[in-house]
Amino acid sequence: MWNYTDKVKELYTNPRNVGSISDADVVVEVGSIVCGDALKLYLKIDANDVITDAKFETFGCGSAIASSSALTEMIKGRTVEEARKITNRDIADFLGGLPEEKMHCSVMGNEALDKAIAKWRGEDISHSEDTDGEIICHCFGVTDKLIRKVISENKLKTVEDVTNYTKAGGACGSCIPRIEDIISDELKKFAESADRPAEKKPLTNIKRLQLVEDTIANVIRPELQKDGGNIDLVDIDGKKVYVALRGSCANCRLSDLTLKNFVEDKLREFVEDDMLVFEAGRD
């Protein structure tokens, strides 16, 4: 059985904002009964672009109902502009998280919202390839546009991820090669955009110290503590970081070389890519 959070359970048991709005300003449908989940969203939007009411009807599993309920709660009282910024991540976070395999439920909510806003603005949402993208997965009617959006918003890396988030690839599988192409294409784009701001300004000493401390506290120490060890920052001199090992780390699998590599890798990842690590008292 799924490991649903209490919030998800609460919202599929007692979903908020179920039903229709007879004088809604915009009504959209996403998904279909064939695919196993569908959401119909009704919005009331006032002259100041504020979403004054939101209601939904959903065909789908517990997490689809909970995601729909979450979405309506999140957008009520917000301006269209604010609502537009909501991602599927936000919906999942509102629910305290969703099982990976159920992330597509949050994506469906987000899709409905995007579609509703586009429709309200009078944008063309008919199914042309220019506006909606090209259908990649015919089993679930998923477009490349949606797949790309979900990849970049959720930093997805594998076909399995994409299937969990959009269902694409989850039936006959014939679209998997195309999904793979899209993933590598998006990763390339991501790498290029990461390359560009290479004119990063050098860090000030204070900023660097802060980042080192944060990385040790939030990334490195928790990892070492899993093995019963610990790490303390002793000194920092420019890009040289001196650390001391505590507890069982001193003789665990991460000592010496592996430790140094691990800590250095993390600092290089999160601080600057030419950080150097030394064990205090050994050098």
Using the contact rule CB under 6 A, the part of the chain among 118-126, 166-174, 199-207, 213-221 near ligand FES is: 166-174
What distance in Å separates the CA atoms of residue 91 and residue 21, rounded to the nearest whole number?
22
165 binds, among ligand FES, another protein, none (CB under 5 to 8 A by kind): none
Task: Check residue 175 for interaction with ligand FES (CB under 6 A).
Answer: yes
> How many Cα atoms occupy the beta-carbon half-sphere of 155 within 13 Å?
1
What distance in Å separates the CA atoms of residue 201 and residue 19, rounded to the nearest whole number?
53
175 binds, among another protein, ligand FES, none (CB under 5 to 8 A by kind): ligand FES
For another protein, which is the closer residue by CB, 10 or 153? Answer: 10
What distance in Å separates the CA atoms of residue 21 and residue 42, rounded to the nearest whole number?
6
174 binds, among ligand FES, another protein, none (CB under 5 to 8 A by kind): ligand FES
Shortest distance, position 104 Cβ to ligand FES, whole Å: 13
List, in sequence order, the alpha helices (H) in the chain. 6-13, 62-75, 80-84, 88-94, 103-120, 129-132, 144-154, 159-166, 176-195, 205-215, 221-225, 256-270
Angle at 147 between CA 142 and CA 149, to 5 degrees: 130
Task: Check residue 168 for interaction with ligand FES (CB under 6 A).
Answer: yes
Residue window 15-44: x/- pattern of binding to another protein, with contact defined by CB under 8 A: x--xx---------xxxxxxxxxxxx----
Q: Which helix (H) or strand (E) holds 218?
A: none
What distance in Å separates the CA atoms of residue 38 and residue 64, rounded to the nearest whole number?
8
What distance in Å separates the CA atoms of residue 58 and residue 69, rounded to the nearest whole number?
9
Task: Check residue 138 for interaction with ligand FES (CB under 6 A).
Answer: yes
Shortest distance, position 171 Cβ to another protein, whole Å: 5
For another protein, which is the closer residue by CB, 33 or 194? Answer: 33
Task: Check residue 172 for interaction with ligand FES (CB under 6 A).
Answer: yes
Q: Two tokens at 129?
A: 């390839």
Q: Is 105 one of the annotated active-site residues of the chain?
A: yes
Which residue in the set 67, 154, 163, 215 belongs to the binding site for another protein (CB under 8 A)?
Answer: 163
36 binds, among ligand FES, another protein, none (CB under 5 to 8 A by kind): another protein
Q: Any idea which residues carry the catalytic annotation? A: 35, 105
Q: Which residue ranges make up the site for ligand FES (CB under 6 A)?
A: 137-139, 168-175
